[in-house]
Copies of this chain bind each other. A is one copy, B any other.
Amino acid sequence: MTYLNHIKNPQDVKKLNVSELETLAEEIRAAILNRDSKIGGHVGPNLGIVETTIALHYVFNSPKDKIVFDVSHQCYPHKLLTGRQDGFLTDEGMQKISGYTNPAESEHDHFVVGHTSTSVSLACGLAKARDLKGENHNVIALIGDGSLSGGEAFEGLNNAAALNSNIIIIVNDNEMSIAENHGGLYTNLRLLRQTEGQAELNLFKAMGFDYHYVENGNNIQTLINSLSQIKDTKKPTVIHIHTLKGKGYKFAETDKETWHWNLPFDINRGQVTVSFEEQENYGDITFNFLHQKIKQDPSVVVLAAGTPGAVGLSPERRKALGRNYVDVGIAEEQAVAMSSGLAKAGCKPVFCVWSSFIQRAYDQLSQDLAINNNPAVILVFSGAISSMDATHLGCFDIPLISNIPNIVYLAPTTKEEYLSMLDWGVEQTAHPVVIRVPTEVVYAPAPIKANYDELNKFEIVEHGKDVAVLALGSFLTLGRQTIAKLKEHGINASLINPRYISGLDTKLLNSLKQDHQIVVTLEDGELDGGFGEKIARFYGADKIKVLNFGAKKEFTDRTPLKELYHRYHLTPEQITADILNIK
List residues of A whose CB falls within 8 A of some B CB.
Answer: 66, 68, 103, 110-115, 118, 121-133, 149-162, 182-188, 191, 200-203, 205-209, 236, 298-299, 301, 323-324, 326, 328-329, 331, 333-334, 337-347, 349, 359-360, 362-364, 366-368, 370-372, 390-391, 396, 399-400, 402-406, 526-530, 532-534, 536-537, 539-542, 545-548, 553-555, 582
- Listed from nearest, the 8 A-B pairs whose CB atoms lie closest are A125-B341, A151-B151, A161-B184, A184-B207, A129-B345, A121-B337, A158-B183, A154-B154
The interface residues of chain B lying within 8 Å CB-to-CB of A185 are 158, 161, 207
Contact call A124/B159, Cβ cutoff below 8 A: no
CB-nearest residue of chain B relative to A323? Answer: B132
Assembly CA distance A112 to B540 (angstroms): 36
Contact call B111/A555, Cβ cutoff below 8 A: no
**Other-chain contact of A151, B155, B340, B349, B532 (Cβ < 8 Å):** B155
Contact call B183/A128, Cβ cutoff below 8 A: no
**A-B CB contact pairs (8 Å), 9 listed:** A125-B347, A128-B301, A151-B152, A151-B153, A151-B333, A152-B334, A371-B555, A536-B539, A540-B545
CB-nearest residue of chain B relative to A504? Answer: B528
Contact call B201/A182, Cβ cutoff below 8 A: no
Contact call A367/B187, Cβ cutoff below 8 A: no
The interface residues of chain B lying within 8 Å CB-to-CB of A548 are 537, 540
Seed contacts A154-B154, A159-B334; 18 additional CB < 8 Å A-B pairs: A111-B341, A118-B367, A121-B341, A121-B364, A125-B339, A128-B341, A131-B323, A133-B299, A149-B158, A150-B155, A155-B329, A158-B331, A161-B187, A184-B236, A200-B200, A360-B363, A396-B403, A399-B529
Contact call A370/B159, Cβ cutoff below 8 A: no
**Other-chain contact of A155, B149, B367, B539 (Cβ < 8 Å):** B149
Contact call B202/A184, Cβ cutoff below 8 A: no
The interface residues of chain B lying within 8 Å CB-to-CB of A360 are 362-363
Assembly CA distance A126 to B342 (angstroms): 5
Contact call A118/B368, Cβ cutoff below 8 A: yes
The interface residues of chain B lying within 8 Å CB-to-CB of A111 are 340-341, 344, 368, 372
The interface residues of chain B lying within 8 Å CB-to-CB of A370 are 555
Contact call B555/A406, Cβ cutoff below 8 A: yes
The interface residues of chain B lying within 8 Å CB-to-CB of A159 are 182-184, 328-329, 331, 334, 338
Contact call A333/B529, Cβ cutoff below 8 A: no
The interface residues of chain B lying within 8 Å CB-to-CB of A371 are 112, 390-391, 555
Contact call B405/A553, Cβ cutoff below 8 A: yes
Assembly CA distance A363 to B553 (angstroms): 16
The interface residues of chain B lying within 8 Å CB-to-CB of A342 are 125-126, 128-129
Assembly CA distance A452 to B428 (angstroms): 50
